[in-house]
Amino acid sequence: MTKQDSVIISAPPLPDSQGYIAGVRMGDKVLFINHVDMRGKTSADAMRAVEDTGDREVELVVSEKEEKGPEMVKSFRLRKKKSSKSSLSYELIAASNQKKVGYIRLKEFDGRSGGDMADALKHLSSSDLLLLDLRGNPGGLLQEAIEISGYLLENVEGEPSKKVAWVQTRAGDLETILVPNGKTIDAETPLIVVVDRRTASASEVLTGSLQDYCRAYVIGSNKRSFGKGLIQGAFPLSDGSGLMLTIAKYFTPDFHDIQSQGIRPDETANLMSLRASLASGGLIPDSDALKDNMAECRASKTTAKMQQGPRRGGGY
């Protein structure tokens, strides 16, 4: 959905989706979602109205502008349908060095990624080492990445809450995205995150958080990930067109600029045959050595630096 003249406009629905079959078309103005007036609201407001229904049907009222004649109001009742295909897969790989590697492949962050990751971590609890493969992951729903950070990072009572990221506005104002409390599933098993040049956006936010808090050792096939850390907003113009402007950007907890720097791996390696390499014992550092490495990393960190945040100033 996009915003135009303070009214939500529906983007082209997928040809086989319920909305398309029912008659929702690009250009329709969304008036009400479940009896909530959407006029003057943003696309984020519309998404929240849909999500608030849970698994119930969505009641949608739109208006369609005919080429000749008045606008026609249409109403629909659409049943929410969860995708049967998960973007996450996992398996326990028995390596030749007798180590059990919990391999998790996440292609994108969709609405079920958090729940699927929780299931994966519980099923892989016997792993000597976890490997999260984010190669080619373009991002997606940031909230799912935040949820996953809560599974892998632990907020200790009495210590400052850990951050997933900093958000800095163009004016230089700072906001923080905090790791969810009470969500930890596994904050102990040695963790490797694998990235490449196409790892972007929410994937970089999650990886940056895990790396900065010394929870994960990052291996990349390139010297940096994609570098997509901008937050953009749509602003309608009087002629009916719109303008996309950058309104903020993400920094990692150590305030590395994701947009300009991407995520720089701790080590680069040839990842063309990753799974085969895992099975043969390659790319797997000694789990005890990795655990010690992460402990040394945490000891060398200055918590005060993370609490300070990006340098304040006139924005960017």
Please identify, among 18, 50, 79, the residue that sits at the C-terminal boundary of a domain. 79
44 and 93 co-located in one domain: no
Pair of tokens at residue 275: 């799974």
Q: Cα-atom radius of gyration of the chain, to the nearest Å? A: 22
Which CATH number covers residue 142?
A: 3.90.226.10
Pair of tokens at residue 81: 């349908």
Q: Is 217 helix (H, G, I), strand (E, B) or coil?
A: strand
Residue in 232, 248, 241, 194 with CA at minimum distance from that of residue 216: 194
93 and 163 co-located in one domain: yes
Q: Band of the pLDDT at 113, cuts 50, 70, 90? A: very high
Q: What is the rounded distance in angstroms from the CA atom of residue 150 to the CA atom of residue 160?
A: 15
Residues taking part in catalysis: 201, 228
Question: How are beta strands 88-94 and 163-169 bridged, if at all?
Answer: unpaired
Domain count, the chain: 2
Which phi and psi angles does 259 have, rounded to 5°?
Answer: -65, -45
Please identify, among 79, 103, 129, the residue that sits at the C-terminal boundary of a domain. 79
Among the residue ranges 88-102, 217-231, 268-282, the one predicted with the least confidence is 268-282
Q: What is the rounded distance in angstroms from the CA atom of residue 277 to the CA atom of residue 293?
A: 22
Tell me the residue range of the domain where 215 lies: 88-308
Pair of tokens at residue 176: 């923080």
Please identify, among 59, 79, 99, the residue that sits at the C-terminal boundary of a domain. 79
Pair of tokens at residue 123: 């099923």
8 A C-beta contact, residue 99 and residue 281 = yes
Per-residue pLDDT reduced to its tens digit, 56-108: 688 888 887 665 566 778 888 877 655 557 899 999 988 877 789 999 999 99
Among the residue ranges 121-130, 156-165, 258-267, the one predicted with the least confidence is 156-165
Pair of tokens at residue 24: 């929702």
Question: How are beta strands 29-33 and 7-9 bridged, if at all?
Answer: antiparallel
Question: Is 313 inside a domain boundary?
Answer: no
- Higher-pLDDT residue of 214, 159: 214
301 and 202 co-located in one domain: yes
Question: Is 202 inside a domain boundary?
Answer: yes
